[in-house]
Amino acid sequence: MRVSWQAAEVRVKPMVMNEIDFLPDWYKTGLKRQISYRTQCLALGCIFAVMVVWNFVCGQSVSEATAELTRNIERQADAISTSHEFTRVKNEAARLWKNADFIQEIDSKIDIAAVLGEMSFLIGRNVVLNRVEFVAEKFAHKQEIKVNSGSLVKVAGGSRGGKGLLPLGPARFKVVISGVASEASCVAELICRLEDSPYFCQVIPAYSRNKKMKAPTGGGGEDFQVSEFEIGCYLANYRQE
């Protein structure tokens, strides 16, 4: 008798071991609470650090802005002061220019001291002057010359009331010299010296005549003869075109 054995299929199920938690719930809750507290503290610390850095940066920026504002205020004050000083200098310059223009108008452009020095150098010992007169003549335009030729001569120190007043501005001066000389040749020599001098031009003798003069009282001398003259010329302080 044959006996057959069939292997029985046996399935072995793995045994699942459940973890046994011996920690109580209150401990777990406290642990979670501590972790939450630590996280919150860490977050608050980070926020505080950020706020401190931000306050430092803002404080530095405010300090720089305050310093810049102070510098700007000082610059503005300096600019205002400079502007006032510039205005004052500008007004002073305008006043000086106005005075300069006024002086330019009344300046005759001649040096009287130099002219008198040149005359004293040219006049010799044998010539005695009794009158030196400067006559100012205003430069006349062509139209004025046609209308009233020769009427623009105005004598310095003339009569009041506007008739003989010295013309203002650029003018030419006519010099009238009169006196006596020991001889007629001295008068001719004086005319030549005036013509050669760079100070004078257009030398024209008005007259030259003999004249007898009395000797001083008590001198014991006789009357003597001199040459009386008058010479007119112009100062060479202009160029005629």
Give 126-152 pLDDT, tens digit per residue.
Answer: 888 888 888 877 766 544 434 333 333
Q: For residues 227 and 182, give the distance between their C-alpha atoms in angstroms, rounded to a whole number.
A: 6
What pLDDT, on the 0 to 100 scale, is given for residue 153? 35
Reported as a single tens digit per residue, the pLDDT across 177-224 is 899 888 888 888 999 999 998 888 889 889 888 888 776 665 555 677
Q: For residues 191 and 194, give the distance between their C-alpha atoms in angstroms, rounded to a whole number.
A: 5
DSSP letters spanning 150-200: T--EEETT--SSSSSPPPPSSEEEEEEEEEEESSHHHHHHHHHHHHHSTTE
Above 80 in pLDDT, residue 83?
yes
13: region left, alpha or beta (phi > 0 left; psi from -120 to 50 alpha): beta
Count CA atoms within 13 Å of residue 60 on its CB side.
5
More confident residue, 160 or 228: 228
Instruction: Read off the pTM.
Output: 0.46
Reported as a single tens digit per residue, the pLDDT across 91-124 is 999 888 887 776 666 566 677 788 888 888 888 8
Query: Would you say 129 and 123 are in contact if contact means Cβ atoms under 8 Å apart?
Result: yes
The band of 1, judged by pLDDT with boundaries at 50, 70 and 90, is very low
More confident residue, 98 or 170: 98
Q: For residues 119 and 10, give the distance between their C-alpha atoms in angstroms, rounded to a whole number.
A: 162
Over the chain, what is the mean pLDDT? 76
Using CB atoms within 10 Å of the CB of residue 177, give its burial: 0 to 12 exposed, 13 to 18 middle, 19+ buried.
buried
The band of 47, judged by pLDDT with boundaries at 50, 70 and 90, is very high
More confident residue, 93 or 20: 93
Phi then psi dihedrals of residue 72, to 5 deg: -65, -40
Query: Would you say 137 and 174 are in contact if contact means Cβ atoms under 8 Å apart?
Result: yes
Residue 221's identity, in one-letter code, is: G
Residue 56's identity, in one-letter code, is: F
Residue 63's identity, in one-letter code, is: S
Q: For residues 226 and 85, give the distance between their C-alpha atoms in angstroms, rounded to a whole number.
A: 69
